[in-house]
Structure formats: structure tokens, C-alpha cells
Amino acid sequence: MGTTRCDCKNLSFLGLRSYAQRHGISDIQELIRQTGCCTGCGTCRPHLEEFLRTGKLKVGDQSIQIPDWDVRDLSLSRLRMKRRQDRN
Ligand code: FES
């Protein structure tokens, strides 16, 4: 069941939020149209909507608040790792 990702389309909610932020998408229907998320079994949709509305991910029986900067920080970390790999 997709509480942190859309398993059917192999898309994480963090990645989807990042995509929505980068493309100025504030409507779930537009996010679905552009990414194809939530178009399989559909069980992830209420969880994705909740995450986009509150910034909280449900992991097991806990709710974890994910600050906006986590996504950008993650991207920066990957970029730094790639630069390090490119230098070696
Ligand atoms: S888990 Fe997202 S459509 Fe099935």
C-alpha cells in the first residue's frame, strides 16, 4: 500500500512534491496528469493528498513531518556525490 510512494508507478511522494514545486503545480489533478501517479490501484492518492496538504508522511503508525528543505537538500547531496565521483 502506498503511504510514502505510488508503488504502481514507482514514484515517491517526496519526488512528486519536488516535481510539483519545480513546475508550479498546486492541483493534484494536474500532478496526476503530468506524472501518471495515482493512476494504478489508486490506494496511494489519499496519502499523497494528505502529504501535499500537511507535509506529513505516514510511516507505519507514525506521522513524520518532512520540511520543504529536505527535498532540496537531498538533491544537493546527490549533486555533490556526483561531482565527487566525476573528479575521481
Ligand atoms: S500505489 Fe499509486 S496507483 Fe497504486
Average pLDDT over residues 68-76: 55
The pick from 3, 10, 41 for probing ligand 1's pocket by mutation, whose C-beta has the most ligand atoms within 8 angstroms, reads 41
Residue bearing the bigger pLDDT, 74 or 83? 83
DSSP 11-40: EEHHHHHHHHHHTT---HHHHHHHH-TT-S
Residue bearing the bigger pLDDT, 1 or 18? 18
Treating both helix axes as pointing N-terminal to C-terminal, what angle do 13-22 and 28-35 enclose, rounded to 10 degrees? Answer: 100
Q: State whether the beta carbon of 47 lies less than 6 angstroms from ligand 1.
A: no
Q: Can you say whether residue 48 is alpha, beta or left, with left for phi > 0 and alpha for psi between -120 and 50 degrees?
A: alpha
Percent of the chain with pLDDT over 70: 75
Kindly list the domain boundaries of the chain, sorted by start residue.
5-87
Q: State whether the beta carbon of 44 lies less than 6 angstroms from ligand 1.
A: yes
33 pLDDT more than 80: yes
The pick from 38, 47, 48, 51 for probing ligand 1's pocket by mutation, whose C-beta has the most ligand atoms within 8 angstroms, reads 38
Average pLDDT over residues 34-61: 93
Contacts of 68 (CB under 8 A, 6+ apart): 21, 55
Average pLDDT over residues 4-27: 93
pLDDT (0 to 100) of residue 68 = 75
